[in-house]
Homo-oligomer: A and B are copies of this chain.
């Protein structure tokens, strides 16, 4: 049993979902660990992680539409507005989704379902450089 880790840097172009399934898959393949547990950890509080359908791009657009309505930018409810009208909504969206995901690894690959992809969800409107920590434990 051994472990490996890696920092994946994702440059977002602003709010939206960024599919990085292939980059995670490639790193798992290179690690030499064939069976184990992959943990993905987002090192931010205004971006998050999500496993969603990666076949029809309408799904991620509709997801964004839903979250924009549920947590509107510039909501007068919020006091924390120091970084702009999308700052506090970004924190709420991150709280409603995931900071961290775990995916079993089997036969050298992630055991995702047929339609599942792994996304970084950027919640700020401006582009940001984001770090996702990959940690793999297995043999």
Contacts and interface: CB of A to CB of B under 8 A. Distances in A.
Contact of A37 (B2, B45, B135): B135
Interface string A79-105: 110100000100110111111111110
Contact of A91 (B5, B53, B96, B135): B53
B104 A5 contact: yes
Contacts of A115: 44-45
A56 B82 CA distance: 10
Contacts of A30: none
Interface string A41-76: 111110000111100101101110110011100000
24 contacts: A1-B1, A3-B37, A39-B102, A41-B102, A41-B103, A41-B104, A45-B51, A45-B52, A51-B99, A56-B80, A59-B91, A62-B88, A62-B91, A62-B92, A65-B77, A69-B77, A95-B97, A96-B96, A98-B98, A98-B99, A99-B116, A100-B102, A137-B137, A137-B138
